[in-house]
């Protein structure tokens, strides 16, 4: 069965960086894009971007360009999200989500979420 | 960016009643070459990740009860819960995946009256 297991919660100081991992299993990792979506406390969903696990190609929401990097390691079927120059308003639950295909499809499996708290 | 709006912000209905949520996109998400609407609906319960309910505006995801249905085309879409159940209490989001960024609507909270 498809599973996405994310790394644990993080507490970071403003200005620091965070890396969240998403371990995929139960399907062919390189066959499906991986998206990252975040949700601030009590707020809605915000799409951050995707990584193509096959090629490593990425597409980022403009808002995050310059601060976000999405990568993958196919040998261990894991996707990564790195966000730099953290601010207090980056405090959120970060989700990885598998796309139902390889571009321009909805997401059908989601990780459990990783809480990132940015606070001094 | 395509802006997604939803109405109402929240609704409360009795068990067994119909619940309807509307979603509007700031530009069409209908791709003319394949006649598909690039619009999905998700359900999110407290403390859980979102769950895909509907995609291509009206295709129900495997395992989703048939009381959930989607309709609409172009810029105006609707999610209908034909007979509201206690387990349907959640926040519902629409999302367009026509063009990046894949924007979400602000969500509609559904409760039992």
pLDDT at B29: 98
pLDDT at B104 over 90: yes
Mean pLDDT of B24-47: 97
Q: Which residues contact A50 (CB under 8 A, 6 or more apart)?
A: A33, A34, A35, A36, A58, A59, A70, A99, B100
More confident residue, A79 or A101: A79
| Biggest CA pair distance of chain B | 43
Fill in the DSSP letter of residue A96: E
Q: Say what the pLDDT of residue A35 is.
A: 98
Residue B110's contacts (CB-CB under 8 Å, 6 or more residues apart) are: B10, B11, B12, B13, B19, B21, B81, B84, B88, B89, B90, B91, B92
> Does the pLDDT value for residue A103 go beyond 90?
no
Mean pLDDT, residues B86-112: 98
Give residue A97's pLDDT.
98
**pLDDT value of residue A91:** 98
Span A12-58, pLDDT tens digits: 999 999 999 999 999 999 999 999 999 999 999 999 999 999 999 99
Average pLDDT over residues B83-108: 98
Q: Has residue B56 got a pLDDT over 90? A: yes
B20, pLDDT greater than 90? yes
From CA B12, how far away is CA A112, in angstroms rounded?
28
Confidence grade of residue A110 (pLDDT, cut at 50, 70, 90): very high
Name the residue among B74, B75, B73, B70 with its Cα closest to residue B25: B75
Q: Is A11 on the interface with B (CB under 8 A)?
A: no
CA angle A49, B99, A92 (to 5 degrees): 30
What is the pLDDT, as a whole number, of residue B59?
98
Q: What is the pLDDT of residue A102?
A: 84
pLDDT at B107: 98
Of A61, A100, A106, the CB nearest to B95: A106
Å between B41 CA and nearest CA of chain A? 9
* B112's tokens: 């039992």
Mean pLDDT, chain B, integer: 98
When pLDDT is averaged across residues A76-87 and rounded to a whole number, the result is 98
Q: Which residues in chain A have Cβ-Cβ distances shorter than 8 Å to B44?
A: 45
Report chain A's mean pLDDT, rounded to a whole number: 97
**Residue-level pLDDT at A68:** 98
- Residue ranges of A 27-66 with Cβ closer than 8 A to chain B: 35, 37, 44-47, 49-50, 59, 61-63
- In this prediction, residue A101 carries a pLDDT of 85
């Amino acid at each position: 069965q498809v599973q996405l297991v994310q790394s644990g919660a993080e507490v970071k100081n403003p200005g620091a960086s965070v890396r969240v991992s998403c371990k995929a299993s139960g399907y062919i990792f390189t066959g499906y894009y991986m998206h990252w979506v975040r949700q601030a406390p009590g707020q809605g969903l915000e799409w951050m971007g995707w990584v193509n696990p096959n090629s490593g190609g990425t597409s980022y929401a403009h808002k995050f360009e310059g601060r976000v990097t999405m990568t993958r390691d196919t040998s261990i079927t894991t996707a990564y999200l790195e966000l730099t120059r953290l601010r207090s308003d980056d405090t959120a639950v970060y989700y990885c989500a598998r796309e139902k295909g390889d571009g321009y499809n909805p997401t059908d499996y989601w990780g459990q979420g990783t809480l990132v708290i940015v606070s001094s | 960016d395509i802006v997604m709006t939803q109405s109402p912000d929240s609704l409360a209905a009795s068990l067994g009643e119909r619940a309807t949520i509307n979603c509007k996109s700031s530009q069409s998400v209908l791709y003319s070459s394949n006649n598909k609407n690039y619009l999905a609906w998700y359900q999110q319960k407290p403390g859980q990740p979102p769950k895909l309910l509907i995609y291509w505006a009206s295709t129900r995801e495997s395992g989703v009860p048939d009381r959930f249905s989607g309709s609409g085309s172009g810029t105006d879409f609707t999610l209908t819960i034909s007979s509201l159940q206690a387990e349907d209490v959640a926040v519902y989001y629409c999302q367009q995946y026509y063009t990046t960024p894949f924007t979400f609507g602000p969500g509609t909270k559904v409760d039992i009256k």
